Amino acid sequence: MEQNILFSPEPADTQERPVEQMKDKQKKSDKKDKSAGTVARVTEITASSPKSFEHAIETGVQRACRTLENVTGAWIQEQKIEIKDGAIVSYRVNMKVTFILKD
């Protein structure tokens, strides 16, 4: 038996409230709420090094911290090496860096 479930963009009781009540609710939500938590953003960067993957990671993190404020973490998405004439000439990492947005 197939079931169809419909989702409303707002709860049913919200749709039936008078306009004034909705405006009051908006005013309350406009005030800063310290308990609301934090919002983070993730940006992707690429860093390279002729020495090692670890050095490429350190270089990328140091550069991200100079440009971005409130960096809290990073994860390595991809690692690559560049080869020239049979020898490794560059270690490259693609990483995603997380930082907390200011209020």
pLDDT tens digits for range 52-82: 999 999 999 999 999 999 999 999 999 999 9
Q: Looking at the 3D structure of the chain, how many domains does it have?
A: 1
CATH of the domain at 57: 3.30.1660.10
| Eight-class DSSP state of 43 | E
Give a yes or no: residue 9 inside a domain: no
Give a yes or no: residue 10 inside a domain: no
Give a yes or no: residue 23 inside a domain: no
Give a yes or no: residue 17 inside a domain: no
pLDDT tens digits for range 2-36: 444 444 344 444 445 455 555 555 555 555 555 56
- For 31-68, b/e burial (b = at least 16 CB within 10 A) is eeeeeeeeeeeeeebebbbeeebeebbebbbeebeeee
Question: What pTM value is reported for the model?
Answer: 0.63
Q: Which of 61, 59, 78, 72 is nearest to 98 (CA)?
A: 72
Q: Which of 55, 57, 50, 53 is nearest to 97 (CA)?
A: 57
Give a yes or no: residue 6 inside a domain: no
Give a yes or no: residue 47 inside a domain: yes
Alpha carbon distance 90, 64 (integer Å): 20
Give a yes or no: residue 73 inside a domain: yes
Q: What residues make up the domain containing 54?
A: 39-100
Give a yes or no: residue 15 inside a domain: no
Element (H, E) at 97: strand 87-100
